[in-house]
Copies of this chain bind each other. A is one copy, B any other.
Amino acid sequence: MKTSLLAIAATAALAAPALAQTDLPADADLRSAALEWFEPIPDTPQIPAGNVLTPERVDLGAMLFFDPRMSRSGVFSCQSCHNVGLGGVDGLTTSIGHGWQQGPRNSPTMLNAIFNIAQFWDGRAPDLAAQAKGPVQAGVEMNNTPENLIGTLNSMPGYVDAFKAAFPDEDAPVSFDNFARAIEAFEATLITPDSAFDRFLKGDDAAMTDQEKRGLAAFMDTGCTACHAGRNVGGQDYYPFGVIERPGGSVLPEGDRGRFAVTQTADDEYVFRAAPLRNVALTAPYFHSGAVWDLHEAVSIMSSSQLGTELAEPQVDEIVAFLGSLTGKQPQIVHPILPVRNAETPQPQPMVQ
């Protein structure tokens, strides 16, 4: 992390002074500069390593994603906290789970998550399949066990057949690993191409407004790109929150030391995966704490804590406008019809802790 820290500090030191308004660069220059940092969301899904995107596997993943019977209570599905209609989040400070427990961190979006370096705010899951095994077992989330989950799936012929079709060459297709791989396959299809920003990157000068273009220029000039770059405008690496000035405990709670819990390395205290900013206008509240509801305020906090700069209000507005240009085409998902339970299916246990 030390290299990254130095890089951030250097970028911040070189940042342009806070002007009232950012100069509007020529479109070709702006695009050329932006393509040094970013790339568009592709129009077709990226196939996850070790997985395939057959219709059978993606459809099974959708069923599992939307099925509340994957939780011990029968109340929560993946969709509960990663709502396809709400930019992939639940819109809560931190998620509510089994027994009305409140989780420790804000729910991140699964839209475009395939493009992140790793999953969760601290990157503790290397891929979407590993991620999918987490919440289903977490006591404060879905509170299930792999055994009860597999028992539930095996009880329903509709699921057994769907697993056979999704994993046709396997002797024991209904497994916790394949549960996770099917969800990964579905989630890999949840990408949001064709944002105004993407269309601009691809050559359409008129796709972004002047204010959005000023915001893109400011985003690069002030050093935001030191942490938020790549296809997801973030999500590509880990950085400390509070490089220059640590924000207050409501925004950065002391008890959550971020990636330190994963690596047990002192340098990783309060280090998080840079938030991917695709569709960020849809995903309030912000930060791992979910403490900030207004994107304008979130940008201001970032500028002081990460860049050591007090951006002028017009420049914050520009950056917020640029962030709005990152909203892509949202996925149109037909709600799956789920397999029918029967007498063998384990009953929901909402009142069991």
Contact = CB atoms under 8 A, between A and B. Distances in A.
Given A68-B91, A92-B350, A337-B85, A343 B100 contact: no
Given A85-B67, A90-B68, A102 B337 contact: no
A74 B90 contact: yes
Contacts of A340: 87, 281-282
Nearest to A343: B294
A62 B68 CA distance: 20
A335 B74 contact: no
A18 interface: no
Interface string A318-353: 000000000000101111111011010001101100
A225 B203 CA distance: 68
A333 B66 CA distance: 13
A74 B69 CA distance: 20
A96 interface: yes
A176 interface: no
A15 B80 CA distance: 48
Interface string A279-294: 0011010000000011
Interface of A is mostly: loop
Given A67-B85, A96-B73, A100-B350, A334 B337 contact: no
B96 A350 contact: yes
A165 interface: no
Contact of A334 (B100, B333, B350): B333
A46 interface: no
Given A74-B90, A294-B343, A83 B100 contact: no
B350 A85 contact: no
Nearest to A329: B337
Contacts of A102: 350-351
Nearest to A98: B100
A83 B68 contact: yes
A139 interface: no
Chain B CB within 10 Å — which of A67, A69, A92, A330 has the most? A92
